[in-house]
């Protein structure tokens, strides 16, 4: 053993071992502190990520509800618009039919008036022709004495025809 105590390699080994042990003890706290800090940071990051994931899921659920509500509202609006369009179409058809009936009645009334007017014109023309023809016939067949007799007779019957 004495030889071992004088051997420099032995003392270098012991010094190196002692140095490593002391450095390990001193560095152990720092290394473990760093590792603990890093572990704490990782845990914090994981918790933050988990919280963000939960918030993201809540937001996703909220937006999905909003989308469903918006889709239901859009379907309701479309259904109401279709119903309103149907009502407008029915109203327009009823108004069109009413207008057509009114126009047909106006045309029928106008045709009736035109027919009555034509009949009146024809009667007036026929009466005028009859008067002219009668006057011509009377003028051709009656002499002055017959003409005087007709005038006297018309004058006599005039007061009775006036009542």
- In degrees, to the nearest 5, what angle opens at C-alpha 91 toward C-alphas 90 and 94? 85
Check whether 24 has a pLDDT greater than 70.
yes
Per the document, the length of the chain is 163
Output the pLDDT for position 132.
87
pLDDT in tens, 137-161: 777 776 777 777 877 887 888 777 6
Task: Give the contacts of 10 (CB within 8 A, at least 6 positions apart).
Answer: 4
Q: Provide the percentage of residues in the chain whose pLDDT is more than 90.
A: 56
What's the pTM value of the predicted model, to 2 decimals? 0.43
pLDDT in tens, 111-143: 999 999 999 999 898 888 888 888 787 777 767
pLDDT in tens, 55-72: 999 999 999 999 999 999
Q: For 142-162, where are the alpha helices, taking DSSP H only?
A: 144-162
User: How many whole angstroms separate alpha carbon 128 and alpha carbon 136?
Assistant: 12
């Amino acid at each position: 053993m004495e030889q071992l105590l004088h051997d420099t390699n032995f003392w270098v080994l012991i010094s190196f071992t002692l140095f490593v042990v002391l450095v390990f003890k001193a560095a152990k706290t720092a290394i473990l502190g760093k590792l603990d800090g890093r572990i704490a940071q990782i845990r914090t990051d994981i918790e933050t990520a988990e919280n963000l994931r939960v918030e993201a899921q809540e937001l996703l659920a909220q937006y999905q509800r909003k989308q469903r509500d918006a889709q239901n509202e859009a379907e309701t609006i479309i259904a109401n618009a279709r119903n309103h369009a149907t009502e407008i179409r029915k109203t327009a058809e009823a108004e069109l039919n009413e207008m057509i009936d009114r126009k047909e009645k106006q045309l029928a009334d106008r045709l009736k008036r035109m027919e009555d007017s034509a009949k009146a014109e024809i009667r007036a023309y026929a009466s005028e022709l009859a008067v002219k023809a009668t006057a011509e016939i009377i003028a051709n067949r009656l002499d002055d004495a017959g003409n005087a007799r007709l005038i006297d007779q018309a004058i006599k019957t005039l007061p009775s025809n006036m009542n």
